[in-house]
Copies of this chain bind each other. A is one copy, B any other.
Amino acid sequence: MSHEKFSSVIETLHECMTACNHCYDSCLQEDDVKMMAECIRLDRECADICGYLEQALVRGTPFVSDLAKVCATICEACGNECKQHDHKHCQQCADACFKCAEECKKLAS
């Protein structure tokens, strides 16, 4: 069954979605919000695609590879942005994004 076959990547997607939404929420509360604008934008992009793929995998989507590919691209872009910022929430988010990008790449291939 889909949800068992993909249980590891579903967990990773869930962690990445959580890290991105937490980073988004925290960035909006930083003193220098302007510096975080691109991070806020990419956090939302990444949270949305991870949340999407997570649901799609559990419901047995026939489009695993196509969706995983675009998810890997977005996770990587978000990770690259986040790792430039010293905030703890950004560094943790970068880690979650890169881990998720790796798992999505495997899924896509």
A-to-B contact residues, CB < 8 Å: 1-3, 10, 14, 17-18, 21-22, 24-26, 28-29, 31-34, 36-37, 40-42, 44-45, 47-48, 51-52, 54-56, 58-63, 66-67, 69-70, 73-74, 77
Selected A-B contacts with CB under 8 Å, 11 pairs: A1-B22, A18-B58, A22-B58, A24-B59, A28-B37, A31-B34, A33-B37, A34-B34, A45-B62, A66-B70, A69-B70
Given contacts A17-B58, A25-B59, A33-B34, 18 further A-B contacts (CB under 8 A): A1-B22, A2-B22, A3-B18, A3-B22, A10-B18, A14-B14, A21-B59, A25-B58, A28-B40, A29-B37, A32-B34, A41-B62, A47-B58, A51-B54, A63-B74, A63-B77, A66-B74, A69-B70
